[in-house]
Chains A and B, each alone.
Chain A
């Protein structure tokens, strides 16, 4: 009897040991533990919905494998750059043209029927009717063109590697170099920690350039003289978050600014003096849109506005142009 009890208890003990070993081998309790050092970005990405003053009304799906840049001409035609091509949509969002490029453009700008494409360290010029016209000479081999702004007399080209903006005439003659560091004149130069460096012209042809490392937009004369600036660093909607923001901006016909940031993927509206007005959209707010799929770099690849103040956002994650109108 005693022997049977001992055998029974031994068997029970053995079963318990086998169960414990099995549990340890085949289950993973670590997976159920929380992260004690969690950095919760979702909290920061959450936007107070009462601050959102635009709504997404339509989108364009250009069926491009990758989207690089966006531009809108004076007739509200929409130009979307993908690998080695630019697709053109009219204001009814019908595809009307495809321009073949020699390489992939990182940024584009359009003036009349001339398309300027920033490709690596130089600008290439294309006619929307007859294709490639010419290559402009690069400033130096290390350049990386990230933005182009154009009016009838000037083409402004932002180079993130050289941290300079070049003013060319429409024939590609370099006229002015803006932002050269000069300690004797107290010019610190642009701080461009990553390859985001944007330039735009207001409806009155005022030149605005982002100084992303300083979280500010600066207004220059066409010869590169400093006029004014605005912008502060902050995670709050009234400022620009992270190390270098905003990454893109455009100026509405009424002179208000639209900016986009990486990290929090916010698009915001600021008045003519730079004061925060409201949120256009927050692409990575878990409450409003799908989560950001880009682990590094920005989800928003470009911004543009048409003559009616409608805002176009190039969303690199979904490869769509999202169109926003005032609520």
Chain B
């Protein structure tokens, strides 16, 4: 009869150590894989779900939100009386600050030819409040749309705005298709 090998304390410590290393390595592997997968996806908001509640301006972890208004020019009517640029019932259709809807004057109006105007967003001034988006959606073609700007977004594990969004407009999207525009142009900024 063979002697049963004694399993002493040293053996126990040795095997625990090995199991610990194996579990640790597996954990690191899983974490790295998850990170690699997460690295390929970014947060984005779906403008067709957005109700312009204002939280994109106030809930981002950055001091000034990474969400900005973007202009889908292909959809724009280049209107003189732009519902996204001018306050309702503005008397004169000009660039005076009191006529502008944007609280930070982040939209620039440029004359193209009578009676058409082009509207450009100054990203540094835009706080992502969505006021212009609401005006353009109601009275115009909806060519002004909110989007997370990926040059600014730090891609938090859990986007703080996604947690606050009442419209469930946020999701992770592939980094290669990082912008979601509604209307007739997709992925074009």
Contact = CB atoms under 8 A, between A and B. Distances in A.
A37 B129 contact: yes
Nearest to B91: A234
Q: Which of B88, B101, B131 has the most chain A CB atoms closer than 10 A to its own CB?
A: B88
Interface of B is mostly: loop
Interface stretch (B2-10, B137-145, B170-178): B137-145
Interface residues of A, number: 32
B52 A39 contact: yes
A244 B54 contact: no
B140 A194 contact: yes
Contact of B83 (A31, A188, A215, A263): A263
Given A193-B78, A234-B89, A235-B88, A37 B54 contact: yes
Nearest to B104: A37
A33 B58 contact: yes
Nearest to B93: A233
Contacts of B139: 241-243, 262-263
Given A37-B54, A193-B140, A263-B139, A236 B89 contact: yes
B105 interface: no
Interface in A167-196: 188, 191, 193-194
B120 to A, nearest CB: 17
Contacts of A241: 88, 139
B137 A295 contact: yes
A36 interface: yes
A134 B103 CA distance: 55
A36 B130 CA distance: 11
Given A242-B138, A262-B139, A30 B114 contact: no
Interface residues of B, number: 38
Contacts of B89: 234-236
Interface string A249-278: 000000000000011100000000000000
A213 interface: yes
A153 interface: no
B57 interface: yes
Contacts of A295: 48, 137, 142
A148 to B, nearest CB: 23
A213 B76 CA distance: 13
A236 B90 CA distance: 11
Contact of A193 (B59, B79, B101, B183): B79
Interface of B: 48, 52-55, 57-59, 77-83, 88-89, 101, 103, 114-115, 127, 129-131, 134-135, 137-142, 163-164, 166, 182-183
- Pick the 8 closest A-B CB pairs, nearest first: A193-B77, A242-B139, A35-B54, A243-B79, A37-B129, A296-B142, A263-B139, A30-B164
